[in-house]
Homo-oligomer: A and B are copies of this chain.
């Protein structure tokens, strides 16, 4: 099993480090002082960044970039040529661009595990954070680094959703970044109602504003880093909310809005029927097959050598 070096030991990076160790791998990390101290106290090996990256190149380990998007370029500048590299950042287009610019000789495959809580930092991490979660990969070529990343993701208990950076960023704008913006808007409109409104707030307001409790600087980095795709999603939300407003004002009815929302929620909670599929990763058309799998609702659930066991919905 390939060694793993995780740079950034917050919620996600710290969970990757724990999960990779739990899967029997040799692991080490690099992190800011606060997280580094806590990780060492918990028995993990932490090096200064340069040393961690040098060791990774020497031992041909997989480096997992787990710092917030604004910190990505500084780390990339220090990555050695030929390094096996992946990331867990919540946008894929900008990270791919940054790798091409700052670490063009790294052997990079983008990744993004879809796990999060409103907590953050090393102590919020867990070895089982990714169990049952989707872990996106955005391969630009088919090689052994892709196999490394898929294997690591499967080792943590996740299933793997291959797609393109563009499709990933458009999707997460809708289901991850827009929810943060909507939660912030809803929370502020509620608080504008004064002490009575907050005193009466119950289930629906609590659920709808929960992620507004996340650390603002992390939410901003995530949302602002996906600006183009998020603008499209916000425009869709404005259009739908404006249509609801118009319908309520003119006819007094909200049928279209409420029914469409209910139908969409049913789609989310209803597990689709899944059709099994195997993909030979050495076949010439495998890269295209992989990159289109996510858009079809598909995922990889196991790897047997170079054969991926997948399923589509």
Chain A interface (Cβ within 8 Å of chain B)?
114-117, 133-134, 136, 161, 163, 167-168, 170-172, 174-176, 178-214, 216, 219-220, 223-224, 227, 230-231, 233-238, 240-242, 244-245, 248-249, 252-255, 257-269, 272, 294-297, 299, 313
Residue pair B208, A192 in contact (C-beta under 8 Å): no
Q: Which B residues are CB-close (under 8 A) to A238?
A: 238, 241-242, 245
Copies of this chain held together in the complex: 2
Residue pair A199, B262 in contact (C-beta under 8 Å): no
Partner of A184, one of B176, B205, B231, B258: B258
Q: Which B residues are CB-close (under 8 A) to A249?
A: 231
Residue pair A187, B297 in contact (C-beta under 8 Å): no
By Cβ-Cβ distance, the 4 closest A-B pairs, closest first, are A184-B261, A195-B297, A191-B264, A187-B264
Given contacts A227-B252, A242-B238, contact A176 B189 (CB under 8 A): no
Least CB distance, A172 to chain B, in whole angstroms: 6
Residue pair B223, A254 in contact (C-beta under 8 Å): yes
In the bound complex, what is the Cα–Cα distance between A141 and B170 (angstroms)?
A: 56
Residue pair A114, B187 in contact (C-beta under 8 Å): no
In the bound complex, what is the Cα–Cα distance between A168 and B252 (angstroms)?
A: 20
Partner of A261, one of B202, B209, B235, B257: B209
Cβ-closest chain B residue relative to A294: B196
Given contacts A253-B224, A257-B184, A261-B184, contact A189 B204 (CB under 8 A): no
- SS of A interface (majority): helix
Further pairs besides A176-B202, A184-B258, A187-B268: 10, Cβ < 8 Å: A115-B202, A168-B200, A175-B205, A178-B186, A183-B265, A194-B297, A206-B268, A209-B265, A212-B262, A220-B258
Given contacts A179-B205, A211-B207, A258-B216, contact A265 B187 (CB under 8 A): yes
In the bound complex, what is the Cα–Cα distance between A115 and B204 (angstroms)?
A: 10
